[in-house]
Amino acid sequence: MSSFSKESFSLEFFPPRDQAGRERLVSTAKQLQIINPSYVSVTFGAGGSTREGTAETVRLFSRMGYEAAPHLSCIGADRDSICQILDAYRAEGVKRLVALRGDLPSGMGVVSSDLRHASDLVKLVREHSGDWFHIEVAAYPEMHPQAQGFEQDIEHFVQKVRAGADSAITQYFFNPDAYFSFVDSVRAKGVDIPIVPGIMPITNHTQLVRFSQMCGAEIPRWIRLRLAEFGDDRQSIRQFGTEVVTRLCQELIDNGAPGIHFYTLNNAEATLSIWENLSY
Ligand code: FAD
């Protein structure tokens, strides 16, 4: 039987850059309250570039009554600064983190710290903060773009779980078989934590292509062709995107996914349209 329930949704946001962005975010967050997400997460800029913005946005969500989980990346950071961030979050009552390696901003080529992989960060969080935090990690059903091969990538995912991760959120994908195959592969290695599909609503063709090239997510040919055909017709793109992503989510739910994590991109409309269509 599916463990999916109305508490199984979570939402991801990025820290706004200015006051107008903050106001838009508050309005988006209010519109999405109806989903009643189990938590919301807030991204962290490469190399710590949004460190304060992430913390501030977490506070903003907490004030609105959401459980908020900051993302934290370790690449290029030293242990002391990570421990300071952990202590600050703990003092503010934050109970959940998304622990990542992150990517170095271009130009920052050398990593001097010994925190090279997300598994190093998960280990540090457990050493420093014990079981205080619920730790989420990233998973890549279509393989991380820098991975040498699927087997190694899966082994590295297993290392993060052994280091103490409690659950995982996937990179977005449009092929449900990639997700189920990934879950089967890690279950075969004894991993039993929830692996929640990360879902990207489709609203903008150019942006989707750009993101997908960066993160290694495959846009199936038929979806690419349909999107290209719509050209600048944003309404048709949204309508088609909602249909495609709703079907994806429904298939995931019907076949045992433990939750859905929406990459909202700080917009309410696309996420809401998909959510309203789902049955569970
Ligand atoms: P890792 O798990 O460390 O894996 C990265 C690569 O290293 C993989 O190829 C893996 O196979 C390899 N690897 C791991 N361990 C070892 C080892 N011991 N030896 C050799 N190779 C190894 N980025 C941001 O900057 N900010 C964010 O807020 C953010 N949020 C994200 C949220 C989610 C749900 C996801 C899926 C991604 C997010 N990202 C974010 C992107 C992420 O930072 C990048 O994908 C990054 O390249 C990898 O981070 P990771 O935590 O998956 O790294």
Write down all domains in the chain, each with its CATH number in brackets.
6-277 (3.20.20.220)
Question: How far does residue 118's CA lie from ligand 1's centre (Å)?
Answer: 6
Annotated catalytic residue: which of 12, 67, 136, 142?
Answer: 12
The two tokens of residue 145 are 């773009």
Q: Is the CB of 76 under 6 A from ligand 1?
A: no
Nearest-10 Cα torsion for 77, 83, 87, 88: -20
140 Cβ contact list (under 8 Å, min separation 6)? 147, 153, 157, 170, 171, 182, 216
Q: Is residue 12 flagged as an active site residue?
A: yes
Among 173, 186, 72, 75, residue whose Cα is nearest residue 125: 72
Helix pair angle (51-63, 79-91), 10° resolution = 10
Distance CA(223)–CA(194), nearest Å, equals 28
Q: Is the CB of 12 under 6 A from ligand 1?
A: no
Q: What is the pTM of this model?
A: 0.97
Q: Is the CB of 67 under 6 A from ligand 1?
A: no
Residue nearest to atom 22 of ligand 1 (CA): 156
Q: Is the CB of 162 under 6 A from ligand 1?
A: no
Q: Is the CB of 182 under 6 A from ligand 1?
A: no
Q: Is the CB of 69 under 6 A from ligand 1?
A: no
Q: What is the pLDDT of residues 206-232, one digit of tens each?
A: 999 999 999 999 999 999 999 999 999
For 26, how many CA atoms within 13 A lie in the half-sphere containing its CB?
10
The two tokens of residue 73 are 């990346």
Distance CA(220)–CA(237), nearest Å, equals 15
Distance CA(41)–CA(39), nearest Å, equals 7
The two tokens of residue 71 are 């993302």
Q: Is the CB of 73 under 6 A from ligand 1?
A: yes
Contact 268, 33 (CB under 8 A): no
Question: How far does residue 20's CA lie from ligand 1's centre (Å)?
Answer: 31
Question: How far does residue 260's CA lie from ligand 1's centre (Å)?
Answer: 20
Question: How far does residue 156's CA lie from ligand 1's centre (Å)?
Answer: 10
Residue nearest to atom 40 of ligand 1 (CA): 102
Q: Closest ligand 1 atom, CA of 155?
A: 11
Distance CA(29)–CA(43), nearest Å, equals 15
Q: Is the CB of 235 under 6 A from ligand 1?
A: no
pLDDT, residue 17, reads 92
- Please tell me the total number of residues recorded for the chain in this structure: 280
Q: Closest ligand 1 atom, CA of 54?
A: 28
pLDDT, residue 7, reads 86
Q: Closest ligand 1 atom, CA of 160?
A: 2
pLDDT, residue 6, reads 85
Residues with pLDDT less than 50, the chain: none
DSSP assignment string, 139-199? E-TT--TT-S-HHHHHHHHHHHHHHT--EEEEPP-S-HHHHHHHHHHHHTTT--S-EEPEE
